[in-house]
Amino acid sequence: MAFQELWQLRAAFAIELSDMYGQEVPAYNTLVDVSTDVNRDYMERIGAEAERLGSIQRVTAERHGAIRVGSPQEMSQVARVYAAFGMYPVGFYDLRDASASSVPVVSTAFRPIEADELAKNPFRVFTSMLASDDPRFFSPDQQRRLQDFINARELFPAELLTLADKAAEQGGLDDPEAVQLLELATRAFKLSDDPVDHAWYKELEDVSAVAADIGGVTSTHINHLTPRVLDIDDLYERMEALGITMIDEVQGPPAWDGPDVLLRQTSFRALDEERIFKFEDGTIGPGELRVRFGEVEQRGIALTPKGRELYDQMLAETDRRLNENGGIRTDVARQVWAENLPDTEHGLAREDLAFFTYRVAEDASSETLAQLPEHVTLVYLIDNGIVIAEPIVYEDFLPRSAAGIFQSNLTSEGSRDDALQGTDYDIDVMSEIVGRPVADPHDLYRKQQDESLAVVSAQLDRAIDSIVANPTT
Ligand code: OOG
Ligand code: NI
């Protein structure tokens, strides 16, 4: 009776979900096949450098999922399920104001937190909760009916939650229970064939297609499962060549000559899926819904808060130029990037714009080391080749891209009354809902960087003064 550790359960969970989703949405299998080809060809073209942001094994197996739930109670339950797979909440995303369309959700992402856990299996799930109490979207009467509908359903059976708690407590499960946990957890995310109440679904859809997808049906389901590629522009072209309609643009940073940072994403449009409806006249029969799509992503280096601020400024500057002069977003963005962002990892590191782990260079001569000044700065160590910087990959999401992904697949804009005051949600409220602290992604990256620097500091027998570059030194 083999004991399955959390990471083994997580890896198995990702595979089971992927198999199930591939059966439900066959175009996903095409996306995975094309992604695998893109990665293989990129490796052949670029060689070992291609693996700078993750081994080809990790990247090819890597997925993120998206799940949507309806209430704080459902959010706290899904968090218990994820904990059984060693996945914990990181980051707070408020999508209610992030786009012009009506997207009444607040979100966090559940993922492994430690570097070694990420290396074993990095599966993560972007998880959104319907803000059914936000009066900008729902009238008081609708809020009540929506909450009643959601409170009456059960997404996660008691047996699943009990097994999940046990796995989290023990750091894993023995075999018969491990299999049972995986089966129940996977089934909880399967598309249901329960008839959809047509009138209710349509009423919610008038407010927001996302609200209907969450609160108009009796279960939850995977909205998408996203493979990771090493060259998203290549993937985009190959998918279009196969006749699959992609959204207009790749979201996030443009393709450019410098290092990839943060996250670039794109998707193919949601496809019609047959669902069973209960119609207004009482008849039951098939109809079509269009909510699930295929997304793909390319990951880059994690930015520090300073780098992130620069990123946000560059986005704003891109918007400003587009408004003023028109043009193609990616071309304008590429220009803005070339003007503002250092185009080497070295430049990003010495200006503290991105996160790295550092180690003492093997070829740093004993002479150089003997001559180290009493006070060293990180910039000194970087510039003199005394330390080697390895990029830390961005493991999180971008609110504007997420909103863009939601938006690009909505059938209508929906409605939001901006004259009313929205309900307050933030990372602390989300922590209370989830039942454990939601980590700030920057703290996690910073800790990884600081730990590596502590080792460097001990080896060099020097305090490392500041990691922020001083342009005058
Ligand atoms: C989640 C959309 C956000 C991403 O990759 O940014 C997302 C959803 O559609 O439920 O998955
Ligand atoms: Ni996604």
- Name the amino acid, one letter, at 55: S
Ligand 1 contact via 68 beta carbon (within 6 Å): yes
- Determine the Cα–Cα distance for residues 316 and 304; give it in Å rounded to an integer: 18
pLDDT at 387 over 50: yes
Name the residue at shortest CA distance from atom 8 of ligand 1. Answer: 66
For the chain, give every domain's residue range: 3-300+395-439, 307-389+450-465
Distance 334 CA to ligand 1 centre (A): 25
pLDDT at 70 over 70: yes
Confidence of residue 471 (pLDDT cuts 50, 70, 90): very low
- How far CA 274 is from CA of 36, 97, 193, 437, in Å, comes to 29, 31, 10, 39
Distance 418 CA to ligand 1 centre (A): 23
Which residue do the tokens 């399967």 mark?
A: 190
Q: What is the pLDDT of residue 406?
A: 78
Ligand 1 contact via 99 beta carbon (within 6 Å): no
Name the residue at shortest CA distance from atom 5 of ligand 1. Answer: 402
Q: What is the pLDDT of residue 40?
A: 95
Of 216, 198, 64, 179, whose CA–CA distance to 125 is shortest? Answer: 64
Name the residue at shortest CA distance from atom 1 of ligand 1. Answer: 66
Mean pLDDT of 287-292: 85
- Determine the Cα–Cα distance for residues 384 and 361; give it in Å rounded to an integer: 10
Distance 398 CA to ligand 1 centre (A): 9
Ligand 1 contact via 128 beta carbon (within 6 Å): yes
Backbone angles phi, psi at 26, to 5 degrees: -60, -30
As a residue count, the chain comes to 473
Mean pLDDT of 280-309: 93
Q: For the segment 4-21, what is each residue's pLDDT rounded down to a tens digit?
A: 999 999 999 999 999 999
- Give the number of other CB atoms < 10 A from CB of residue 442: 16
Ligand 1 contact via 299 beta carbon (within 6 Å): no
Q: What is the pLDDT of residue 336?
A: 97
Name the residue at shortest CA distance from atom 3 of ligand 1. Answer: 402
Q: What is the pLDDT of residue 247?
A: 84
Residues paired with 174 in a beta bridge: 3
Distance 127 CA to ligand 1 centre (A): 8
Ligand 1 contact via 405 beta carbon (within 6 Å): yes
Share of residues in the chain with pLDDT > 70 (%)? 98
pLDDT at 356 over 70: yes
Q: Which residue did the predictor score with more confidence, 190 or 411?
A: 190
- Name the amino acid, one letter, at 403: A
The mean of the pLDDT values for the chain is: 93
Q: What is the pLDDT of residue 472?
A: 40
Q: What is the pLDDT of residue 71?
A: 98
Mean pLDDT of 361-377: 83
pLDDT at 53 over 80: yes
Q: What homologous superfamily does CATH list for 3-300+395-439?
A: Uncharacterised protein PF07063, DUF1338 (3.10.180.80)
Confidence of residue 109 (pLDDT cuts 50, 70, 90): very high
Q: For the segment 19-47, what is each residue's pLDDT rounded down to a tens digit?
A: 999 999 888 999 999 999 999 999 999 99
- Determine the Cα–Cα distance for residues 153 and 156; give it in Å rounded to an integer: 9
Which listed ligand is nearest to 405 at the C-alpha? 1
Of 260, 262, 258, 252, whose CA–CA distance to 231 is shortest? Answer: 260
Ligand 1 contact via 186 beta carbon (within 6 Å): no
Q: What is the pLDDT of residue 368?
A: 79
Token representation of residue 45: 């073209």
**Cα angle, residue 433 at apex, residues 427 and 437 outer, rounded to 5°:** 50
pLDDT at 469 over 60: no
Q: What is the pLDDT of residue 345?
A: 97
- Give the number of other CB atoms < 10 A from CB of residue 139: 12
Distance 67 CA to ligand 2 centre (A): 9
- Determine the Cα–Cα distance for residues 218 and 207; give it in Å rounded to an integer: 18
Confidence of residue 467 (pLDDT cuts 50, 70, 90): low
Taking a C-beta distance cutoff of 8 angstroms, is the pair 123, 464 a contact?
A: no
Taking a C-beta distance cutoff of 8 angstroms, is the pair 437, 108 a contact?
A: no
Cβ neighbours of residue 57 under 8 Å, at least 6 residues apart? none
Confidence of residue 159 (pLDDT cuts 50, 70, 90): very high
Share of residues in the chain with pLDDT > 90 (%)? 78
Taking a C-beta distance cutoff of 8 angstroms, is the pair 372, 66 a contact?
A: no
- Counting ligand 1 atoms within 8 A of each CB, the residue from 210, 405, 410 with the most, and so the one to mutate, is 405
pLDDT at 249 over 90: no
Q: What is the pLDDT of residue 1?
A: 61
